[in-house]
């Protein structure tokens, strides 16, 4: 559950993130000043972008979680689960 007054994650486009990181690396501002300049919720967000860029060497704003629109074939998953349970039961009986 979120705290009172908590700011939630916004989706920023890759161009803005790249611009902010480049400005920080060129010593054109601090985390705080860049966050205020581009109306970013928190300077920690800018800090995280810079840190992730240094670690991975690329900028990526992929959304987390399961992509929308993917249909799950529950019958197929059920059959796989049944096979797994049968295999597991067989292995357990061998012991």
Q: Are 47 and 55 in contact (CB under 8 A)?
A: no
- Confidence check: pLDDT of 60 > 80: no
Give the integer Cα–Cα distance in Å for 18 and 49. 9
Nearest to 58 by CA among 66, 45, 49, 67: 49
Locate the domains of the chain by residue range. Answer: 14-62+71-94
Give the integer Cα–Cα distance in Å for 33 and 40. 10
pLDDT-based confidence at residue 64 (cuts at 50, 70, 90): low
Give the integer Cα–Cα distance in Å for 9 and 15. 17
Across 39-48, 53-62, 63-72, 76-85, least confident range: 63-72
């Amino acid at each position: 559950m979120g705290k009172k007054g908590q700011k939630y994650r916004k989706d920023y486009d890759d161009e803005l993130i790249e611009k902010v990181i480049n400005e920080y690396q060129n010593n054109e501002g601090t985390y705080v000043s860049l966050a205020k300049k581009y109306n970013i919720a928190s300077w920690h967000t800018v800090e995280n972008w810079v840190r992730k860029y240094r670690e991975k060497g690329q900028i990526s704003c992929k959304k987390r979680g399961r992509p929308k629109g993917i249909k799950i074939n529950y019958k197929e998953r059920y059959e796989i689960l049944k096979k797994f349970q049968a295999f597991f039961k067989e292995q357990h009986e061998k012991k």
